[in-house]
Structure 1
Amino acid sequence: MSKINLGNFFEDFKIGQKIIHPLPRTITDGDVSFYIALTGSRFALHSSDVLAQKMGYKKKPLDDLLMFHLTFGKSVQDISLNAIANLGYAEVSFPNPVFVGDTVRLETEIIGLKENSNGKSGVVYVHSIGYNQDEQEVLNLKRWVMVHKKNKNEMSNIKDIPTFEKTLAVEKSINIPKQKEIDTLATGGKFFFEDYEVGERLNHPEGITIDDSDHTLATKLYQNNAKVHFDDFMMKSTPMGQRLMYGGHVISIARAISFNGLQNAQWIYSINSGAHANPTYAKDTIYAYTEILEKINHERDDIGLLRLRTVAVKNQKSEEISNPKDEDGKYLKNVVLDLDYTVIIPKNKKK
C-alpha cells in the first residue's frame, strides 16, 4: 500500500460520506499579525485588546475571515487537493468567537456530486463544520469545488445537486457581548446601523495589488496545499499558464478594502452566497464596491444587521462598473468576486 496521499478525485467521493480532517490548529498571535501583514485588514475589534475589552470581550477575537481560512484549510487535502477551482460558498455562519490559544478542527459531509459533461471533472458539494477545543461550533459552511476525475474515459452521469438557502435566517440569540457606547475615534468610523440605506452603494477608493509572495504565503498560513496555488511548474502547462490565487484570499482583500465606509461593521454574521466569477493572479490589483441590500432591525437594542453585496474587480476602478454582469447574465471579465454576506453593526446609542 502506498504511503503517499495523492488526494481524492471526483470518483472517490460518495453522497453522505463523512470525513474528519487531520491537523487541528492552535491559533497564535503570530497568525493574527501575519494575516494583517498579508491583507491589510484594519477592523479595530480584531486589532486591540483594549478596545475589545471595552466592547465586552476578555481579549480581541479573531477576524472572522482569518478563522474561516485557518479552519477551512483543514479540508483541502481531502476535498480539493486535486481541484481545478473552488466555485462558491453558501450558508456560511460564525456561531461562536475564536481567540488566540483556541484550537480549531473540521469535519465534512459530502452533500452533492455533479459530473461535468466533458468527462474530465466534476463538482463536489460539501457541508463542513468547524469546532474549537470545547466542541463548540465556530464555523458552519457549504461550498462547491470542481475536481479532476481520475478516469476520464468512464462516465457515471451523476447529477445530485443540493439546494441552498438564499440567505441565512437571523437568530434571536447572537453570541456577541452587549454593546455600549462605541468609541468611534478608536474604530475609525462614525456611521452606525441607522446611517445606512437600502440601495446605497459604497465605492471603496483603495486598491490592493497582490504579489506572488502575498497570496502564496497566505495560502501557506492556512495550510491550504491545493496544487493550483503552489505548483507553478504544473500550472504553466494549463490554459491558465500560472498559479491560481486562492479565492479566499480575494475575499479577505475585498473585506479589507470595504473597511473604508463600513468601519463599524466589526462582525461577519454570515456569508449567504459567494461566486468567484473569474480567476485572480499575481500582480492583479483588486478594487471593490459594496451595495446595501437589506437592513435587519434585530430585537436587541444595541445592534442591527446589514446584508451586503461586495463586488471585487481586478485592474479596473470599481466605480467604472455599474453592473457586474453583461446583458446575457455573464460576469464581466474583470469581476473576480460577487459576495452576498451579512454583517453586524452597532446601533447609535445616542439617538
Structure 2
Amino acid sequence: MTKTNPGRFFEDYRVGEVIRHAVPRTVGAGERALYHALYPQRHALYSSDAFASSCGLRASPLDDMIAFHVVFGKTVPDISLNAVANLGYAEGRWLKPVWPGDTLRSESEVIGLKQNSNGKTGVVWVRTRGLNQDDEEVLSYVRWVMVRKRDLDAPAPDTVIPDLAASVSPGDLVVPEGLDFTSYDTALAGEPHRWGDYEVGETIDHVDGVTVEEAEHMMATRLWQNTAKVHFDATVRPDGSRLIYGGHVISLARALSFNGLANAQVVAALNGGAHVNPCTSGLTVRAWSEVLDRAETSAPGVGALRLRLVATTGAPFALRAEDGKYLPDVLLDLDYWALVPK
C-alpha cells in the first residue's frame, strides 16, 4: 500500500465535501517575533500589550495575517498541492482575535467546480474556516485555485460556480470584543490620521520598498507550513525559479502600508483579491492604497475603511493597461476592510 500523499487533483473533488485539514498548531510569541522579522510590520495594536490594553483588549493579539497564514497553510496539502495558481479570495471575515497560546485548525468545504476548456486543469472553490481550541470560528474565507488533472480522460464534473458577494457588508464586520478607540494615542501609533481624515477616492503612495530575498520567502513558506510544490521545489517550473507564496506578498504590502495607514490597525474583512502576476526573489515590492468606502461601527471610537491595497514593482497608482488587463508590474490587487480610530 502506498503511504505517501501525492495530493489531490481536480477530479478528486466533490461539491459539498468537507475536508478536515491536518495538523492543529498552537501559536504564540514565536510566530509574532518571526512575523515581525520577516515583514516591516509596525502596527501598534499587534506590537504592544500596553497599547492594546489602552484600546480595551486584554493584551496584544497575534497579527490578523498570522491567523490567515496559519489557517491557509493547513489547507495546502489538500487544496493546492497540485495547483497551477491561487486565483482569488472573497467573503473573508476575521471573527475572533487569536491570542498567544491558541491552537488553530482548518476545515474546508468544496463549494464550486469548473473544468477548464483545455481539459488539463480545473478551478476549485472552497470555503475555509479557521477554528481555535474551543471550536470557535476565528476566520472564514473563500478562495479558488486552478488545479491540475491527474487523468486527462476523467469526465468533467457538473459545473457549479458559487454566487459570491462582491464585498463584505459593513454590517457584517466583526469588531473584536472590547475594542475601544476613544482614548487612542496617535503619537504612540505613529501617525495622526484618523477615520475622518480619509476621503473616498483618495490614493496613498506608501513610498517604501522591500526587495524579496530567497532565504526570507523560503523561511516564511516553511513557517506557515505551505507545502505547495511551486514554492518549495525549483524543478517544478520551467524557468527553475520558486514562486513566492502570495500571502508573503500580502503581508509585505500590508506592512508597507503602515506609512500612510499606520492607524488602520485591524484587518476585519477580505472582500476580494487576486495575485495577478508572479513574484520571484530579487524583485522590489512597493505598495499603494485607494480608499474605496467608509463606514461607521457600533464600537466606541471605531470606524471602518474599505481599502484597495496594490503591491507592485512599478510606479504607484498604475493598475491596468488600456485593454483593461493588469499591468505586468502589478503583483497583488487586494480589497479589504480595516478598523481605524475616529
1-side partners of 2:289 and 2:324: how far apart?
A: 19
Question: TM-score, length-normalised on structure 1?
Answer: 0.94
Deviations 1:150-207 (A, max 9, x none): 0124441642211210111123762342223111121101111111111111011001
Paired residues of 1:119 and 1:154 also in contact (CA < 8 A): no
Is 1:124 paired with 2:119? no
Gapped regions of structure 2 (runs ≥ 5): none
Report how many aligned residue pairs link the two structures. 340
Helix, strand or coil at the partner of 2:260: coil
* Mapped pair 1:103 → 2:103: yes
How far apart in 1 are the matches of 2:171 and 2:140? 14
| 1:220 paired residue number | 222
Task: State the partner residue of 1:136.
Answer: 136
Residue 15 (structure 1) aligns with: 15
1:190 alignment counterpart = 192
Distance in 2, matches of 1:144 and 1:110, equals 10
The one-letter code sitting in structure 2 at the alignment partner of 1:302 is G
**Cα contact 1:250–1:337 (8 A) shared by 2:** yes
Q: CA deviation at 1:219?
A: 0.8
Q: Answer with 160-169 or 101-110: which moved more.
A: 160-169
Choose from 326, 335, 342 the match for 1:331: 326
What is aligned with 1:174?
Answer: 175
SS at match of 1:171: helix
Q: Look up the SS of the partner of 1:260 in the other structure.
A: helix
Secondary structure at the counterpart of residue 96 of structure 2: coil
Aligned partner of residue 305 in structure 1, secondary structure: strand
Contact 1:46 1:63 in 2 (8 A): yes
Q: Which runs of 4+ in 1 moved over 3 A?
A: none
Which of these residues, 203, 206, 212, is aligned with residue 205 of structure 2? 203
The SS at the match of 1:160 is coil
Structure 1 residues 24 and 157: CA distance shift in structure 2, 3 A: closer
Alpha-carbon contact 2:74-2:106 (below 8 Å) kept? yes
Instruction: String of CA shifts for 1:125-156, please: whole Å, max 9, x gaps.
Output: 00011111111110000000111110124441
Equivalent position amino acid for 1:271 in 2: L
Instruction: Give 1:326 shift.
Output: 1.5
Partner of 1:4: 4
Contact 1:98 1:138 in 2 (8 A): yes
Conserved 8 A contact 1:119-1:155: no
1:59 paired with 2:59, answer yes
TM-score by length of 2: 0.96
Does the residue aligned with 1:312 lie in a helix, a strand or coil? Answer: strand
Gaps of 5+ in 1: none
Whole-Å Cα distance in 2 between the matches of residues 198 and 170 of structure 1? 15
Structure 2 equivalent of residue 259 of structure 1: 258
Map 1:72-87 → 2, pairs under 5 A:
72-87=72-87
Q: Is the 8 A contact 1:114 1:160 kept in 2?
A: yes
Q: Secondary structure at the match of 2:258?
A: coil
Deviation at 1:12, TM superposition (A): 0.4
Q: What letter matches 1:92 in structure 2?
A: G
Structure 1 letter corresponding to 2:175:
I
1:175 maps to amino acid: P
- 1:337 maps to a residue whose letter is L
In structure 1, what is the Cα distance between the partners aligned to 2:298 and 2:49? 28
- Paired residue for 1:297? 296
Partner of 2:273: 274
Show CA shifts across 1:291-345 (max 9, x none).
Answer: 001111224441110001111112x2325x2xx1112211111111111111010
